[in-house]
């Protein structure tokens, strides 16, 4: 017995020693991945894809449509395969980072930079880190695609909005969440550039999130409905991720609202209407300043006690008994009773000027001095408005709503007009809405729902 005990202790010691030694040589995630700054160092990025003087003007229908109809060149391999550009024809890879250095096949646009060199051609494309990778690929892999001539999609990472064009005209836009990179996963960025919708791959599970109606456009990156948790009884809960619409939040995919806006646009609309080879253009946000909405932009609120302001008069998250909501102007948002209102977590209305300023400061596109000066300016403007008007809604805004049904602002540079998913107040999520709650109600899709 003593001999066995000694042997067991010896074996236990040896196994422990082997485990500790092996652990020293197991590569960690940090060992594979670079920080965002390290990954981007020395590379041009998505902000350079369309050229230095590109306008990023979603209101210029002709320029947007021309871009959407322009043929693109892709790499003719399977939609789930990738190609590494090489430093020289037949040479080494340009870069070989984790999930980086390659261009996805069949749907990701590339720029052809040279002519055939004995079966190889110099190209550039964008990888998952949003880096422009320039190198040689086999000439036979190059394929030109003419986009669908009826639909086109532009996703602007600055405004976090998806814009749909039909037959040369702007149709509608809705809030989205694009990728949010971090120093452990710098490849979570949604890469800018030009793509085509390549397949309708359908719903999938990702780390406990269910993402419905996914449309593949860049291998693992897809356009899909905002995620939900599926509970044990089949109930779908969207609470967490719906509140993130309008800001970066995903692992690289483009999350889209599940409820239709006033034009009917949501992920279901995209799933049912977009066609194969619909061109999807993604604009980068780097170096760009988030603009303010026009001061005459109409917003809406419930004057009988609501705590939110909204994008439009009939926000789907508001109980019917409070509809239609009362209009006021964006210029009044920091005055009187409007100053205490929070943005509706469902219809994702435009942000306050001070919030936009903070985002621009955090992104490094304005200085601290500029930020401080802007805050003083906003307070001065609000005080001037309060001294000239009462704190009740401007009658002219209400009149405008009554006489002009289209008064609720056009494309993404102004007021959003989407109906994002409904959800409880973010301060205290709950599954049951009562008459004592705020005007915003909760929507939980039961097990029998869609």
Phi-psi group of 270: left, alpha or beta (phi > 0 → left; psi -120 to 50 → alpha; rest → beta): alpha
Say which DSSP state 221 is in.
E
- pLDDT at site 10: 54
Report field, pTM of the whole predicted structure over 0.85: no
The predicted pLDDT at position 229 comes to 87
**What's the rounded Cα separation, in Å, for the pair 192 and 206?**
22
| Long-range contacts (CB closer than 8 Å, 24 or more residues apart) made by 96-101 | 97/33, 97/34, 97/39, 97/129, 97/187, 98/32, 98/33, 98/187, 99/128, 99/129, 99/187, 100/39, 100/127, 100/128, 100/129, 100/131, 100/187, 101/127, 101/133
Helix, strand, coil shares of the chain, percent, nearest 5, are 25, 25, 50
Looking only at the bridges linking them, the beta strands covering 161-166 and 151-156 are antiparallel
Closest CA to 385 of 309, 326, 331: 331
Domain-embedded: residue 30: no
Q: pLDDT at position 207, please? A: 81
Number of domains in the chain: 1
Which residues span the domain enclosing 348? Answer: 293-450
- The token pair that represents 219 in the structure block: 């291998």
Q: Is the separation of the CB atoms in 187 and 98 below 8 Å?
A: yes
Using DSSP's 3-state secondary structure scheme, residue 88 falls into: coil
Measured CA to CA, the distance from residue 269 to residue 281 in angstroms comes to: 18
Measured distance CA(342)–CA(390) in Å, rounded:
20
Q: What angle do CA 278, 280, 284 make, to 5 degrees?
A: 175
Q: Find out whether 341 and 307 touch, Cβ atoms under 8 Å.
A: yes
CA dist 226 and 422 (Å) reads 12
| Inter-CA distances, 263 with 163, 256, 291, 410, Å | 12, 15, 24, 12
- Cβ proximity of 247 and 426 under 8 Å: no
Q: What is the pLDDT along the chain (450 residues), one digit of tens a residue?
A: 444 454 555 555 555 555 554 444 444 333 445 788 888 999 999 999 999 999 999 999 999 999 999 999 999 999 999 999 999 999 999 998 888 999 999 999 999 999 999 999 999 999 999 999 999 999 999 999 999 999 999 999 999 999 999 999 999 999 999 999 888 888 889 999 999 999 999 999 988 889 999 999 999 999 999 999 888 888 888 888 888 899 999 999 999 998 888 899 999 999 999 999 999 999 999 999 999 999 999 999 999 988 999 998 998 888 999 999 999 999 999 999 999 999 988 888 999 999 999 999 999 999 999 999 999 999 999 999 998 865 455 444 444 434 343 333 333 333 333 333 333 333 333 222 333 335 554 444 444 333
Is 334 a domain residue? yes
Residue 402 lies in a domain: yes
Three-state SS at 116: coil
Rounded to an integer, what distance in angstroms lies between the CA atom of residue 83 and that of residue 139? 12
pLDDT of 174: 92
Stretch (H or E) spanning 163: strand 161-166
In a domain, residue 412? The reply is yes
Tokens linked to 98: 């984790």
Quick check: 356 and 329 in contact, CB under 8 A?
A: no
How many H-runs (helices) and E-runs (strands) does the chain carry? 9, 24
DSSP 321: G
Q: Does residue 339 fall inside a structural domain?
A: yes
> What does the DSSP 8-state code read for residue 446?
-
Q: What is the pLDDT of residue 11?
A: 55
Of 300, 303, 282, the C-alpha closest to 343 is: 300
- The set of residues, in sequence order, having a beta carbon less than 8 Å from that of 54 and lying 6+ positions away, is none
In a domain, 264, yes or no: no
Per the domain annotation, does 394 fall within a domain? Answer: yes
Confirm whether 429 is domain-assigned.
yes
């Amino acid at each position: 017995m003593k001999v066995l005990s000694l042997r067991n202790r010896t074996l236990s010691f040896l196994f422990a020693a082997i485990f500790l030694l092996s652990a020293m040589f197991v590569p960690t995630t940090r060992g594979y991945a670079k920080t965002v700054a390290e990954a981007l160092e020395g590379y041009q990025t998505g902000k350079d894809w369309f050229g230095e003087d590109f306008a990023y003007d979603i209101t210029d229908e002709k320029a947007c449509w021309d871009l959407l109809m322009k043929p693109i060149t892709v790499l003719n391999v399977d939609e789930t395969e990738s190609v590494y550009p090489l430093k020289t024809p037949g040479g080494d890879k340009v870069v070989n980072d984790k999930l980086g250095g390659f261009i996805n096949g069949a749907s990701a646009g590339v720029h052809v930079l040279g002519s055939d060199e004995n079966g190889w051609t110099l190209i550039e494309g964008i990888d998952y880190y949003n880096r422009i990778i320039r190198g040689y690929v086999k000439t036979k892999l190059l394929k030109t695609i003419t986009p669908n001539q009826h639909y086109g999609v532009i996703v602007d990472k600055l405004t976090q909005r998806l814009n749909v064009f039909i037959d040369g005209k702007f149709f509608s836009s809705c809030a989205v969440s694009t990728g949010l990179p971090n120093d452990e996963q710098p490849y979570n960025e949604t890469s800018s550039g030009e793509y085509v919708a390549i397949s309708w791959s359908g719903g999938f599970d990702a780390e406990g999130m269910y993402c419905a109606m996914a449309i593949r456009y860049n291998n693992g990156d897809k356009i899909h409905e905002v995620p939900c948790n599926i509970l044990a009884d089949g109930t779908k809960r969207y609470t967490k991720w719906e509140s993130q619409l309008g800001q970066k939040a995903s692992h690289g995919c483009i999350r889209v609202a599940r409820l239709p806006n006033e034009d009917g646009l949501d992920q279901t609309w995209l799933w049912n209407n977009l066609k194969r080879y619909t061109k999807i253009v993604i604009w980068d946000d780097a170096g760009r300043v988030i603009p303010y909405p026009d001061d005459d932009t109409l917003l809406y609120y419930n004057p009988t006690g609501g705590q939110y302001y909204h994008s439009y008069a009939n926000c789907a998250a508001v109980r019917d008994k409070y509809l239609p909501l009362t209009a006021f102007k964006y210029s009044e948002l920091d005055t009187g009773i409007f100053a205490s209102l929070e943005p509706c977590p469902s219809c994702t209305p435009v942000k306050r000027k001070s919030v936009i300023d903070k985002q621009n400061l955090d992104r490094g596109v304005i200085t601290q001095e500029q930020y401080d000066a802007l805050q003083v300016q906003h307070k001065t403007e609000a005080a001037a408005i309060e001294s000239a008007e009462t704190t009740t809604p401007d009658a002219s805004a209400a009149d405008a709503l009554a006489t002009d049904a289209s008064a609720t602002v056009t494309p993404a540079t102004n007021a959003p007009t989407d109906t994002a998913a409904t959800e409880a107040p973010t301060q205290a999520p709950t599954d049951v809405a009562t008459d004592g709650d705020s005007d915003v109600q909760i929507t939980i899709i039961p097990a029998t729902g869609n």
